[in-house]
Structure 1
Amino acid sequence: MKVRGNRGRKNAEEQPQGTGPGTPDAGHGPAVELRGVRRQYGRGNAVVHALAGVDLALPRGTFTAVMGPSGSGKSTFLQCAAGLDRPTSGSVRLGGTEITGLSENRLTELRRSRLGFVFQAFNLLPSLTVEQNVLLPLRLAGKRQDRRRAATVLAQVGLADKARRRPGELSGGQQQRVAVARALVTNPDVIFADEPTGALDTGTAAEVLGLLRHAVDGLGATVVMVTHDPAAAAWADRVLFLADGTFADGLERGTPEQIAARMTALTARTGAMAGAAA
């Protein structure tokens, strides 16, 4: 996969902000902010500190990749940042909204209207058409089914002619493109992507990553992606590395080789620390 040196970024003030309905301070402050976030599972001697005091602020209109060894807390970070799981302590803000204390109904409403999600498994409904899958977030939020909006985002992902197809009639790469279109349809504050290329071949993965990159550069979206793949992470503006529930390091616009080397060093370091503590 070739990583572009000049990705055509606009200045933050030139980009349209991906602000959903009800954003209190649209265009101001970080898109994602975690302060003192801890998440633990179990009790007593069996307690696991999945997140051990995370402090992080991600600017709007940026693409951030999160990497780390197995068990480092990547999935827990994504779930807490996206309001899919509640931290044991600390606070999470999305687009200026403090979400930690929101009710489940309010959290569900926020996720549907202001966040987009792309998962490794696509999560498309096989009985619905491509267009219906893309419009599902609007339907679940009780909003008007805007077919013109669906046509727009499908055109952006190169599937303008597939609206009437079912997911089973598409390739894996095309299904993931539908998932990206679904994530874009509400013009979300943040798109959270969890291993979005894990089930794709290298060429198709590059196409999907290019769409996420365009969502940032061309649409002003904010993308937060968890990945194990250094080549995927190289598409991001910044790569953050998690180890033992905390962010250990970061790398600005690294090449796949630089990112892989940093991951190897981090894994070796955390493995040595675990061995010393055993």
Structure 2
Amino acid sequence: MRLRKTTRDRDTGPAVELRGVSRRYGRGSGAVHALRGIDLTLERGTFTAVMGPSGSGKSTFLQCAAGLDRPTSGSVRLGGTEITGMSESKLTALRRSRLGFVFQSFNLLPSLTVEQNVLLPMRLAGRRSGQADAAGMLARVGLGEHARRRPGQLSGGQQQRVAIARALVTRPDVVFADEPTGALDTGTAAEVLGLLRQAVDGMGATVVMVTHDPAAAAWADRVLFLADGVIADSLHGATAARIADRMTALTAGAHGPHATVTAGAAA
């Protein structure tokens, strides 16, 4: 089933823009520089994977880009809207209406039905209707017949499908996915990644995914590699094997911590 794609006429330009984004935790000699001046533009309708060694800044990058954490310096724009100086109440409203989130642990409410979980972002955003959108989105992810069930009655892969439907139901500017296949077996992971890929190709969604798995990253249009808080490298349309080789080299220190390249450049 193909759902009608909607857009916001007021929004133009890239889906995500980071300019000089740094994030420091603590002060003085004990300060931790999680991000060091990230400059990045992600166009609409693209699928970007973010990888890097442990402590490279992946989680901080995702949190700052999604407005879940505030950078120490620099600016973040989402869907043409500057969010860096937003009040917490306005930022919460923006996240509810214009962003989607998919997490490793699904984060579904066990007391709600599948349909109610999918409808939750619309209800939180103050939209009174939405059953037709929820039904259509559940059909898109292959769970139309499970609308009345509760998450505990579904497999892990089915629960992640519900989470993807929930993330997409508001037609968000960006979907942020944090290790969405980390709790799934290989076959189920491929099905979930295929749904994210279809959301980009069929709905014009923009997906930003943090992952440690080269096979998952290979579904993306572009892979960004973080190291020591900077973008150390990028690959376009790469195979899992090539991504794994680059990660191995990065982890082994083949790239210096500040040997940055332009994020949009082909490797």
State the TM bucket, normalised to the shorter chain. Answer: over 0.9
Match of 2:133 in 1: 149
Q: Please tell me whether residue 41 in structure 1 is matched to residue 25 in structure 2.
A: yes
Q: 2: CA distance between counterparts of 1:85 and 1:19?
A: 26
3-state SS in 1 of match to 2:18: strand
Q: Give the aligned residue type for 2:14.
A: P
* Pairing partner for 1:208 from 192, 212, 220: 192
Match of 1:119 in 2: 103
Q: Is the CA contact 2:232–2:255 (under 8 Å) kept in the aligned structure 1? A: no
* Pairing partner for 1:131 from 111, 115, 131: 115
Q: Is the CA contact 1:18–1:222 (under 8 Å) kept in the aligned structure 2? A: no
Residue 186 of structure 1 and its aligned partner are, at CA, apart by: 0.2
Normalization by structure 1: what TM-score? Answer: 0.89
State the identity as a percent: 78
User: How many residues of Structure 1 are paired with residues of Structure 2 in the alignment?
Assistant: 255
Q: Please tell me whether residue 239 in structure 1 is matched to residue 235 in structure 2.
A: no
Q: Give the aligned residue type for 1:47.
A: A
Q: 2: CA distance between counterparts of 1:121 and 1:98?
A: 30
Root mean square deviation of aligned Cα? 1.6
Q: 2: CA distance between counterparts of 1:202 and 1:18?
A: 33
Q: Please tell me whether residue 172 in structure 1 is matched to residue 156 in structure 2.
A: yes
1:31-79 CA-to-partner distances (Å, cap 9, x unmatched) read 0000000000011111000000000000100000000000000000000
Q: Please tell me whether residue 190 in structure 1 is matched to residue 174 in structure 2.
A: yes
TM-aligned CA distance change 1:102 to 1:251, over 3 Å: same
TM-aligned CA distance change 1:19 to 1:245, over 3 Å: farther
Deviates more, 1:85-94 or 1:134-143: 134-143
* Pairing partner for 1:65 from 4, 29, 49: 49
Q: Give the aligned residue type for 2:224.
A: L
Q: 2: CA distance between counterparts of 1:121 and 1:18?
A: 29
Q: 2: CA distance between counterparts of 1:246 and 1:148?
A: 43
3-state SS in 1 of match to 2:36: strand
Q: 2: CA distance between counterparts of 1:196 and 1:146?
A: 25
1:246-277 CA-to-partner distances (Å, cap 9, x unmatched) read 0000000110000000000001117987xxxx
1:13-44 CA-to-partner distances (Å, cap 9, x unmatched) read xxx87645xx73x2x31100000000000111
Q: Give the aligned residue type for 1:59.
A: E
Q: Give the aligned residue type for 2:64.
A: C
Structure 2's unaligned 5+ residue stretches are 258-267
Match of 1:253 in 2: 237
Structure 1's unaligned 5+ residue stretches are 1-15, 274-278
TM-aligned CA distance change 1:160 to 1:97, over 3 Å: same
Q: Give the aligned residue type for 2:250.
A: L
Q: Is the CA contact 2:35–2:229 (under 8 Å) kept in the aligned structure 1? A: yes
Normalization by structure 2: what TM-score? Answer: 0.92
Q: Is the CA contact 1:18–1:221 (under 8 Å) kept in the aligned structure 2? A: no
Q: 2: CA distance between counterparts of 1:31 and 1:17?
A: 16
Match of 1:99 in 2: 83
Moved >2 Å (runs of 4+) = 16-20, 270-273
TM-aligned CA distance change 1:55 to 1:272, over 3 Å: closer
TM-aligned CA distance change 1:122 to 1:261, over 3 Å: same
Q: 2: CA distance between counterparts of 1:18 and 1:251?
A: 30
Match of 2:263 in 1: none
Q: Give the aligned residue type for 1:161.
A: E
